[in-house]
């Protein structure tokens, strides 16, 4: 996110050529694919209208999906109205950035007409509650979007605006943030977990992940409910996961591969990476 200095921005032809190269080299359209490429300009107000349109045409020519940040702040709404004479949702429609192959991160400041547009075109929303609270961006109308049939999943935005990237905590915060609006039925625990699983799959246009069912990828996470943090809550495991303090997973299986076992990452040596990360962070803060 953010707007980089002009001196480091590539030309639009170079951007499009490199997007094409990456799609051709890395995108895997197969079922259960572990690597797919998404064409994703940061936001419609940070690039030119031509680049947004050409990005959409490139993605659709290759059958890949589209992602951008939209309707995150009031400033963005004011900018779009002043610069383009349209609200963010209407501007996105002008740019051909709506449809079942598109999802918008945030979608906080969308009005009923924009929600109806999202539902009619099946444009998805990636709800990022922790980022939205941290940046004081606002509260996305998740209840209204779900009621209208908009595909909604959960996101964590980025490390500069989230710091945790903890999906279970994101589901918990989604649940609590909607209830701030004044009703316990604004979002149920079951709906919050749905957003984190099947909702996300629907936004990503994946029909091979998101639930435990025949023909789906073997994606499983398991939590040890004998932890002290779950004491007294074992009668309702689903509620315990959301209302108790978020815990790390004890077992994670991704597409049939064990990645976390007994709470330990099995795919790489984590301590050296953490040490290296902290070293780089300290050098950055010192300006080295």
Average pLDDT over residues 188-196: 96
Q: Mean pLDDT, to the nearest integer, of 168-177?
A: 96
Q: How many domains does the chain have?
A: 2
The verdict on 166 and 224 lying in the same domain is no
Residue range(s) defining the domain that contains residue 266: 218-288
DSSP secondary structure letters along 175-239:
HHHHHTTS-GGGS-HHHHHHIIIIIHHHHTT-SSSSS--TTS---EEE--TTSGGGTT-TT-HHH
Helices marked H in 47-124:
49-62, 74-84, 88-94, 112-121
User: The domain spanning residue 237 has which CATH number?
Assistant: 2.30.40.10
Residues 274 and 163 grouped into a single domain: no
In a shared domain, residues 272 and 159: no
Q: Which of 43-47, 176-180, 205-209, 276-280 has the lowest mean pLDDT?
A: 43-47
pLDDT in tens, 231-267: 999 899 999 999 999 999 999 999 999 999 999 999 9
Q: Is residue 108 a part of any domain in this protein?
A: yes
pLDDT at 91 over 90: yes
User: What's the pLDDT at 184?
Assistant: 86
Q: Which CATH number does the domain housing residue 96 bear? A: 3.20.20.140
pLDDT interval class at 163 (50, 70, 90): confident
1 within some domain: no
Residue 97 pLDDT > 70, yes or no? Answer: yes
Indicate the pTM of the whole model: 0.93
pLDDT given at position 159: 81
Q: How far apart are CA 56 and CA 96, in angstroms?
A: 7
pLDDT tens for each residue of 32-79: 999 999 999 999 988 999 999 999 999 999 999 999 999 999 999 999
Domain shared by 81 and 177, yes or no: yes
Residue 82 C-beta-side C-alpha neighbours within 13 Å: 7
Residue 182 is predicted with a pLDDT of: 84
pLDDT for the residue 2: 60
Q: Are residues 194 and 287 in the same domain?
A: no
- What average pLDDT does the chain have? 95
Asked if the model's pLDDT at residue 99 lies above 90, the reply is yes
């Amino acid at each position: 996110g953010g707007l980089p200095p002009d001196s480091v921005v590539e030309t639009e032809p170079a951007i499009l050529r490199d997007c094409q190269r990456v799609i051709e080299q890395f995108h895997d359209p197969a079922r259960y694919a572990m690597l797919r490429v998404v064409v994703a300009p940061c936001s419609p107000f940070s690039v030119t209208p031509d680049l947004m349109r050409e990005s959409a045409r490139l993605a659709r020519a290759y059958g890949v999906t589209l992602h951008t940040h939209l309707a995150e702040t009031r400033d963005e709404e004011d900018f779009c109205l002043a610069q383009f004479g349209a609200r963010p949702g209407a501007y996105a429609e002008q740019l051909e950035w709506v449809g079942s192959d598109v999802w918008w991160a945030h979608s906080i400041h969308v009005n009923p007409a924009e929600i109806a547009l999202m539902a009619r075109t099946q444009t998805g929303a990636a709800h990022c509650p922790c980022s939205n609270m941290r940046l004081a961006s606002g509260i996305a109308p998740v209840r209204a979007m779900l009621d209208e049939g908009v595909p909604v999943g959960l996101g964590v935005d980025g490390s500069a605006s989230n710091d945790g990237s903890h999906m279970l905590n994101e589901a918990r915060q989604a649940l609590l943030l909607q209830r701030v609006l004044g009703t316990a039925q604004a979002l149920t625990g079951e709906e919050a977990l749905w957003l984190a699983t099947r909702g996300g799959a629907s936004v990503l246009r994946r029909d091979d992940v998101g639930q435990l069912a025949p023909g789906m990828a073997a994606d499983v996470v398991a939590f040890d409910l004998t932890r002290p943090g779950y004491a007294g809550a074992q009668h309702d495991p689903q509620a315990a996961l959301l209302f108790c303090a978020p815990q790390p997973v004890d077992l994670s299986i991704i597409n049939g591969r064990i990645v976390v076992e007994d709470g330990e990452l099995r795919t790489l040596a984590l301590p050296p990476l953490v040490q290296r990360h902290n070293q780089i962070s300290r050098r950055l803060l010192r300006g080295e």
